[in-house]
Structure 1
């Protein structure tokens, strides 16, 4: 039933699909070598799962204009976040204290550079992030690096809050979960990377303008809720209720299958709102409007790219 719902929502999505870049396979192979170089303790099956997940394909769908060098950076960053997500989930998940330390170590590296090393971020995860962060750190201005680090802080704080909930057996209601999910999804981390690829960071006053923030928030909901549908079976076993379908089922007192339909209806309504909000963003003047349009297109690509990658990736299969 869930697979049918995912495909129906994809078919009804009004956002255009982007063709993946032709160098995706080469970048995916490069990633495998990078993971070995970073010393990640992956056995054969784990490497196969990572390859089948096709993180390079995900990055390429979100940033269809990235050249091969930038696609490598994006793929490495995406892989780092997925590895952290895996480490913070499931029966062998990191403790809340360890996640908090990881957050502090990650933010230290992003904000202050690689020296001295912070004890919260060590080993292969540190080496992978060092490699992925090298180019953005050197290329992008201070305000962009701060913006990116702030988004990572929010994401890892959300990851910590979810882990605390699971540790204490606390299941959030729908409204609380929606807010938390906006942090744990890492969509807000992906938005600054639009500017990395285009080389045109927006002024803070424009990037944080309420009209752009509303578009970004609804875009986050769309890709997060679609992901919750895709990961439902896994989340029923491991998430402690941290899935929109499960939260709706518990709050409404309905079976999970009925909650799937309610979430699909909620997703369709959010998509209609996204289209309206995107069309009503005001002009910021001829010097900025093209960059704003590029940003809005990038948010739409994050939504549509998540849909298409979810259907082609083996991560949730």
Structure 2
């Protein structure tokens, strides 16, 4: 059932599929670098990371990035996935430890690598120091603040989810959708569109209500697709933090029926997403090209998540029906 819906939504997605020509080379670079950052990875763990294909995910979201920039965003993506693994599952970090981790991460992003925080060290810190070096040097202060705010919001969402799991309280649909927008890290990926394109949108444009709404819809589309793909795993580990499971509980329907409901919700949201992209006004000849690149990047995040989810070993296999 889930596999059929995943492939049906892929077929219904009007956004073209794209992939960087550098993706596989950058994946090899990542596997070479991870042990140098101090991660204790045996052959099985390295194989699992290779099959997950984080560079291919980054390459689908930023298909026009130069190879050096794709290395940077791949390193950042890998950091977020490793943090996600540490914060999820049966051996997850407690909420208080996530709060301390967040404080340490924000200290590094705001103040640079020379400022240390007792809650953040080891290989994860070394990886983030490496990944943050180029954006910190190249991007203006307003962009760095925008990125750090997105990271802070993401980690706070991760902490709030951990608190809910520790209390054993499953969220309702409305609460879950709001929290999922933070835990997905989509809002972290959006400023990186400006980084790889070497163009920074003014704050007034970036935070324009219509552009903000398009980013929200894009976040929902990629998050709900991911929820469908991870639903079977989430049934035992998520404490109800999955849109399928939240809908099944709130509407008192079987999980298979909730899968269909999520598929319908996704299709309706895609129609709104496309309509709102088409309704974006002109911001003037000096900005329209950058705005178009930004909107294309948000769309790439949706389609890239779909394609990568179906090819990555990180998720259960969903063969084409």
Q: Shorter-chain TM-score: which interval?
A: over 0.9
Equivalent residue, structure 2, for 1:204? 203
Normalised by the size of structure 1, how large is the TM-score?
0.99
Q: 1:95, 1:33 → 2: CA distance?
A: 31
Alignment of 1:172-211 (within 5 A): 172-211=171-210
Aligned residue pair count: 316
Q: 2:161, 2:309 → 1: CA distance?
A: 23
Q: 1:86, 1:43 → 2: CA distance?
A: 17
> C-alpha offsets along residues 121-148 of structure 1, whole Å, 9 cap, x if unaligned?
1000000000000000000000000000
Equivalent residue, structure 2, for 1:221? 220
Normalised by the size of structure 2, how large is the TM-score?
0.97
Are 2:70 and 1:71 equivalent residues in the alignment? yes
Q: 1:241, 1:181 → 2: CA distance?
A: 12
SS at match of 1:241: coil
Instruction: Note the C-alpha offset of 1:22.
Output: 2.4
Q: 2:22, 2:199 → 1: CA distance?
A: 24
Q: 2:272, 2:119 → 1: CA distance?
A: 40
Equivalent residue, structure 2, for 1:298? 297
> C-alpha offsets along residues 4-43 of structure 1, whole Å, 9 cap, x if unaligned?
110010011011111x222222111110111100111222
> C-alpha offsets along residues 89-137 of structure 1, whole Å, 9 cap, x if unaligned?
0110001111001100001100110112111110000000000000000
| Counterpart contact for 2:171–2:240, Cα < 8 Å | yes
SS at match of 1:170: coil
Q: What stretches of structure 1 move > 4 A for 4+ residues in a row?
A: none
Equivalent residue, structure 2, for 1:270? 269
Q: 1:25, 1:275 → 2: CA distance?
A: 31
Q: CA RMSD in A?
A: 0.7
SS at match of 1:231: helix
Q: 1:313, 1:236 → 2: CA distance?
A: 20
Instruction: Note the C-alpha offset of 1:152.
Output: 0.3
Are 2:7 and 1:7 equivalent residues in the alignment? yes
Equivalent residue, structure 1, for 2:142? 143
The answer for unaligned runs of 5 or more in structure 1 is none
Q: 1:6, 1:62 → 2: CA distance?
A: 19
Q: 1:22, 1:289 → 2: CA distance?
A: 26
Instruction: Note the C-alpha offset of 1:235.
Output: 0.6
Equivalent residue, structure 1, for 2:319? none
Equivalent residue, structure 2, for 1:164? 163
Q: 1:300, 1:225 → 2: CA distance?
A: 15
Q: 2:210, 2:260 → 1: CA distance?
A: 29
> C-alpha offsets along residues 164-218 of structure 1, whole Å, 9 cap, x if unaligned?
0000001110001000000000000000000000000000000001010000000
Are 2:111 and 1:101 equivalent residues in the alignment? no
Q: 1:95, 1:273 → 2: CA distance?
A: 38
Moved more, 43-52 or 206-215: 43-52
Q: 1:8, 1:79 → 2: CA distance?
A: 29
SS at match of 2:190: helix
Equivalent residue, structure 1, for 2:313? 314
